[in-house]
Amino acid sequence: MITLHGFGPRLGLPDASPFVLKIDAYLRLAGLDYKRVSGLGNMRKAPKGKLPFIIDDGELVCDSTFVIEHLQSKYNISLDEHLSDSQRAIAFLLRSTLEEKLYWCTLYFRWVDDDGWQVVKPALFGDMAAPLKWFVPALVRRGTRTATYKQGTGRHNPEDILRIAREVLASVDTLLDDGPFLFGEKPCSTDAALYAFLAQLTLANIDSPVNRIASEYPKLLGYSEHFRDSYYSAPDQ
């Protein structure tokens, strides 16, 4: 049995982490049986200090990219066999852009921006018991702000960060011309990542500047809703 370790349902999504949601969505695309193990306590168990990780018949695999490689190899999954070499290259570059650019813009307006933090703090830590809830949120926020600054996004002003996010979202909107999935009628493995990152901006119960930019592109919402309705029976499943 595969167990997926993540944060759990938050903000109206199966998981408020796009990387956890990416694996959750991939498992559904691949038709693999699994169960979710949710909670902030998973962070203490994560060998690399980050979620998600899976335990597959006793084997622990970390990092969403390595998790997917493991699942593809072990279960002989070929979600991308219908793609051309050019489409595979586009898919790789898109995943990299989502994870190295859009992710940090989203993170900034949840954890660094004060308005976003007022929503994220109770959503993520509201059920934490005392005395942890008195100091853990501030510690986690401080660490996230430091990571965002070191990565580079946190060094920009909010207007520049939004410009980066808009450029990414406009490019994704342009790619979604041929069908309900990234490359037409049939999903590929990158659709799991695309849904996971877009859902944070189109389906999540949070109003942030990045989410408002995403709302300017109806195709992004339509894509997210179609994926959700196809593979999840409810937004927070």
Q: What would the pLDDT profile of 129-179 be if each residue is shown by its tens digit? A: 888 888 899 999 999 999 999 999 999 999 999 999 999 999 999 999 878
Q: Both 67 and 107 in a single domain?
A: no
pLDDT, the chain, mean: 94
Is residue 89 a contact partner of residue 98, using CB atoms and an 8 Å limit?
no
Question: Domain end: 55, 75, 95, which one?
Answer: 75
What share of the chain in percent tops pLDDT 90? 86
Q: Residue 144: give its domain's CATH number.
A: 1.20.1050.10
The confidence score (pLDDT) of residue 57 equals 95
Evaluate whether residue 67 is within a structural domain. yes
Q: Both 69 and 118 in a single domain?
A: no
Split at pLDDT 50, 70, 90, the class of 234 is: low
Structure tokens at 117: 């933090």
Evaluate whether residue 39 is within a structural domain. yes
What is the Cβ-side half-sphere exposure of residue 227, based on CA atoms within 13 angstroms?
34
Lowest mean pLDDT among 35-49, 68-82, 213-227: 35-49
Q: Residue 43: give its domain's CATH number.
A: 3.40.30.10
The confidence score (pLDDT) of residue 150 equals 97
The confidence score (pLDDT) of residue 45 equals 85
Q: In what order do the strands lie in the sheet with 2-6?
A: 34-38, 2-6, 53-56, 59-62
Is 90 exceeded by the pLDDT of residue 49? no
Domain count, the chain: 2
The confidence score (pLDDT) of residue 237 equals 52
Please measure the distance between the N-terminal and C-terminal CA atoms of the chain and give it in whole angstroms: 19
As a whole number of angstroms, the distance between CA 172 and CA 46 comes to 32
As a whole number of angstroms, the distance between CA 175 and CA 123 comes to 32
Q: Both 71 and 113 in a single domain?
A: no
**What is the residue-wise DSSP string for 160-212?**
HHHHHHHHHHHHHHHHTTSSSBTTBSS--HHHHHHHHHHHHHHTSS---HHHH
The confidence score (pLDDT) of residue 47 equals 86
The confidence score (pLDDT) of residue 37 equals 95
Question: Domain end: 48, 75, 102, which one?
Answer: 75
Read off the pLDDT of each residue in 86-101 and give the average, rounded to a whole number: 98
Is 50 exceeded by the pLDDT of residue 235? no
Q: Please give the residue range of the domain that contains residue 155.
A: 85-231
Question: Domain end: 26, 45, 75, which one?
Answer: 75
Q: What would the pLDDT profile of 181-211 be if each residue is shown by its tens digit? A: 999 999 999 999 999 999 999 999 999 999 9
Is 70 exceeded by the pLDDT of residue 17? yes
Is 50 exceeded by the pLDDT of residue 236? no
CB-CB neighbours of 109 under 10 Å: 24
Q: Both 43 and 138 in a single domain?
A: no
The pTM of the full predicted model, rounded to 2 decimals, is 0.94
Higher confidence at residue 177 or residue 23?
23
